[in-house]
Structure 1
């Protein structure tokens, strides 16, 4: 009976996920020549072609794709079991690299980070502020927080939804005095607006049901909520922000909630992590702390092919 080279099988999975031998070798952390040799050995052992190769590209065959879909979840589960078995005894130290939008970091992440750092003096944390959803493997992040009002751009990483960020509408008293107090969403027609970079319309919800939708052409388009807040305080337009983010300004009378009987569609905040890697103890303790402070649900672990545009 021939010995099964399980490493060849795992390299095969990484080549599928990487869309070729170069990226697949990086994911498997082996030289490209070793990845090519592993796949060739596996093809010889199975007696089938796993990839169609041309001078310009490598494409998994139909039989190769079927094998990948059966095998990849098994390796992911083995990694998870190994990580769980070792994380309890592993020292929580070293550098934890995180990417997060500013609002998520300041409002939802800071408390968990403070508790973890106090409990583990040997741990260091680097937090990069970014709205974009990064490629965790390429950019070397252990965790990335993503805020979106639609779906995740890439479902190849393990993910947890952290929290829903409620949104409502706010304006400065001076702007309301000039424009008049709106009674319905239609009354905002013609008002100057301050929105996200991708805002084309705003939804108006009552009891979670969309009642109206208003097209917007924001005077300021930015994912930076701090900038939108300051512009709203200066009376430059009505803005859509989290009640938690503007509570101080509202409490001081600098902003007024417009159309208080309506909310807007919430933003979904996810935390992503590389499913291919053993989960470091530092990642696990932070996720555990997030669950305690924010009530994070269980991870969703997809095992589909990694999209090439990620």
Structure 2
């Protein structure tokens, strides 16, 4: 037998049994007594059995009706439990949050922010896909993905929340700087070895802007290219070459003297650190509060500008 065509009829039937009459059940449900009676009779006709014995004074369950009623009660209980689950999820942070984040941003503080969030919200589980690839938040079932892109952001049907701004600056090791004359312009770096983020086109160009908005570009052939900021930082610290790295990624190294900033008047256009997610409607507290925690936490990361 196929499933019952309208499962709501099982709830109506259970209410009639619980109230002991169609009139009392109809009053409780906010329905007309005649409509409720028709719905229960239609259920009996669909099942091909009598569930209730009706007299002018009382109702009683048939044996089949009694057994059927137990299943109806179980269904109603599961329905209430499901509703309570949703109510709890909407009222307090709980459940599983699935996010994606570039590897470099994780090491820049997001891993610490997420760890604190999980400690403060014991009913929440956070699953992080640490990857530099472009993810599809809908296809992969993610609550949100964190990205870093130059403005303007591409048009998308997804919702966007901006978390901060990240700027790239030129850095090199002190040992490498001793081997070359201090650069006076971006063009004078042409004789310096470089390291860079990998580019599928294998054409490596740096575009930088000064405080007056004047732009300069340089095309270079890196001695080392890879798709991992942490590994690039290691290469720069080792003196392999000059790199264009996020300011927040190397601020501590500059302060400690492990790296020096070249051409400090130049930097890239600030990239937007942002989260993308399917929709703002119906966002559960666990997701919303994690986004709030990221905004607050990234605001304290040295080198990231708060929006």
State the TM-score bracket (shorter-chain normalisation). Answer: 0.5 to 0.7
- When residues 203 and 132 of structure 1 are mapped into structure 2, their CA distance, relative to the original with a 3 A threshold, is same
Matched, 1:243 2:239: no
| CA deviations over 1:131-181 (Å, ceiling 9, x no partner) | 223111111111100112355456121111211101110111221111221
Larger Rg: 2
8 Å Cα contact 1:131-1:147 kept in structure 2: no
Return the offset for 1:114.
3.7
1:270 to 271, 274, 278: 274
Corresponding residue SS for 2:264 = coil
SS at match of 2:269: strand
Find the counterpart in structure 1 of residue 216 from structure 2: 212
Q: What is the SS of the residue equivalent to 2:214? A: strand
Contact persistence 1:87–1:281 (CA under 8 A): no
What is the rounded CA distance, in whole Å, between the counterparts of 1:151 and 1:132 in structure 2? 20
- Give structure 2 stretches of 5+ with no counterpart: 1-85, 300-305
The yes-or-no answer on 1:113 pairing with 2:100 is no
| Structure 1 residue 287, shift from structure 2 partner | 2.0
Q: 1:88, 1:207 → 2: CA distance?
A: 48
* Distance apart, 1:275 and its partner CA: 1.8
In the alignment, the residues of structure 1 paired with residue 111 and residue 88 of structure 2 have an alpha-carbon distance, to the nearest angstrom, of 23
SS of 2:146's equivalent? Answer: strand
Q: Partners of 2:238 and 2:116 in 1: how far apart? A: 36
For 1:292 and 1:172, the matched residues in 2 are separated by 32
Deviates more, 1:105-114 or 1:142-151: 105-114
Q: How many residues align?
A: 213
TM-score normalized with structure 1 length? 0.61
Matched, 1:183 2:204: no
Change (3 A) 1:219 1:240: same
